[in-house]
Structure 1
C-alpha cells in the first residue's frame, strides 16, 4: 500500500468530486494522504478534511512562499493552535520560490525562518518547497534548522543538491511526477538516495505523471511515480511501496495503528 505524502485534495480543483477521488485512491491502494496547507484558509480546509477522514487524511499547516506576505503574527498564532490537533502531522508547506517571485525575497526568507521556529516549538516535521532557491534554503537551514526533521517535497534538483539536502539527517527527499519525465537529473538522484530517506507524492492537482494524459493529478496516480522509482532502483512496486510507506509513517508519526503495508 502507498502513502501520497503530498496532495492538495482540499483545493477547488476537487470541489465537484472530492469524495470520489479519495475513495478511488483508497480502493487503488493509496490508503493514506498528507494534505499540506498553503495559507491559513487552506490549512483550515486540510485540517477539516483530515478530521472528516480519520486515519486516511492527515494535515499540514503553513504558508506557501507565494503567500508569504499574508503571514502575520495572528496567522502564526492560528497555525500554532491548529498544530496542536492530532490530525496535524507537519508544518508546511513553506519554503522559498524564486521562480515566480510572488512574494519579495526578504519576506520569503523571514517567513521561512518563522516556520522553522514553529516546527521546532510544535515538534513537527517540515514540508519544504524549494524552487530556484536551493542555496538560500541550505543557508537558512544551516543557520536555523539544525535538529529539525522534514521533507524536501517534489525534489527537483541534481545529485549534488540532493547530497546537500541529505546532510540534514532528519530530512527526506520526495519524488513526484517529474521523476517519470525526461530532461532532468531525477533518475540519478533516485538511484543514489538512501532507501530510508525517500518518499513519493503527487502534489495533486499538479504534475500529472507519465504516461497519463489527465488534466488533473490525483492521489491515486502516485503509483505511477512509485513504479518509476521501483524501476530505477531495480525493485518491485511492492518493495518500494513498503519502503516509502514506512518512511512516511516514521517521518510524520502516523502511528502504529495506521501502519498497514
Structure 2
C-alpha cells in the first residue's frame, strides 16, 4: 500500500487528555463495537481520550447514535449534511429529531450550508438549516455548523432565526475578521487539521486570535489530516498533531492549551467528568 493511503504514525502522547470534537468513526472504517473500541483505544493512547462522532446522512445518524452506546468515550452528533438535503422529507426530519433526542447525542450537526459542492440546491440547504437550528433550540443542544463558501448566508440565517444557546463552527474556515465576528457573538470555533496547513495563511492568522475559552480542536477524520501528513487518511488520534501545531502557532504551552480545549468540550457538549478508564485508554 502506498504511503499516501496509510494513516500517519501515532504521535507523541499529549500531557493532558483532550476531546476530538468532530470525527466520523464510520468513515474511518469502524463498523461495529470492536472497531470503535480499537479506534478510540488508539486515540486514548496518545491523549485523545473522548470523541464526538458525527453523522452526515440518516444512515450515518443511526449508526452514530448507536455507536455512542458501545463505548463510554464516544458521543454523537446527528443531522443531515447540507449536501444531502435535496430530498429531506418530513419522515426524515422526524427520524433525525428522535435520534437527536437520545442522551448520548450531544449536538445537532453537522448542518449548515455548502456552496462548494453542487449536490443540493441552496434553497433546500437553507430550509434544512433553519429546521436544524429550530431543532437544536427545542432540544437545548449545541448546533454544529458546516460552513463551506457560505459565511454570509450562514450568518444571515442564524441572525434571522436566532441562534441556539451554543453554536459551534465545525472546521472553522474563516479569516481573522470573520473569526472576530463569531467570537463577539459568542460562537465556539472548532479547528481541524486545516489550521496546520502552511498555505492556510488566513486561517492560521485567525487561529492566533480566537480566545482560548471559545476554542475546540477536532479531526474531521478521516479527512483533513494535519501537516505533515496532509492527504493521508486520519483517525481521532491525529488531533494530537493538530493541538501541538496550534500551541506552537499561538505561542502557548501544550499542556495548558490541551486542558483548556478539553474543558471547553466538556462544557459545550455537556460531557460527564472523564473516568480513569477513559483517560488511560481502557474501553467500556
TM-score (norm 2): 0.86
Tell me: CA distance 1:213–1:63, structure 2 relative to 1, closer, same or farther (3 Å): closer
**What is the deviation of 1:237?**
1.4
Report if the CA contact (8 A) 1:91-1:124 is conserved: yes
Deviation, 1:255, is: 2.2
**Runs of 4+ residues over 6 Å off in structure 1:** none
* 1:252 maps onto 2:269 in alignment: yes
Alignment of 1:72-91 (within 5 A): 72-91=89-108
The equivalent residue for 2:210 is: 193
- Matches of 1:123 and 1:111 in 2, distance apart? 18
User: Which of 185, 189, 192 is matched with 1:176 structurally?
Assistant: 192
Query: Which of 36, 40, 43 lines up with 2:61 in the alignment?
Result: 43
Displacement after TM superposition at 1:257 (Å) = 5.2
Aligned residue among 132, 140, 155 for 2:172: 155
Query: Could you say which structure has the greater relative contact order, defined with CA pairs below 8 angstroms and 6 or more residues apart?
Result: 2
Gaps of 5+ in 2: 1-16, 280-284
Separation (CA, whole Å) in 2 of partners of 1:86 and 1:215: 33
Correspondence for 2:48: 30
* 1:235 alignment partner, SS class: coil
Question: Does structure 1 conserve the Cα–Cα contact (< 8 Å) formed by 2:28 and 2:234?
Answer: no
Cα distance change on mapping 1:119 and 1:26 into 2, 3 Å = same
Displacement after TM superposition at 1:146 (Å): 3.3
Take 2:155 and 2:134, find their aligned partners in 1: how far apart are those partners?
16
Between 251-260 and 78-87, report the one with greater CA deviation: 251-260
**Aligned residue pairs: how many?**
259
Match of 1:146 among 136, 158, 163: 163
Structure 1 portions without partners, runs of 5+: none
Partner of 1:97: 114
Q: Matches of 1:209 and 1:218 in 2, distance apart? A: 11
Contact 2:168 2:188 in 1 (8 A): yes
User: Structure 1-normalised TM-score?
Assistant: 0.93
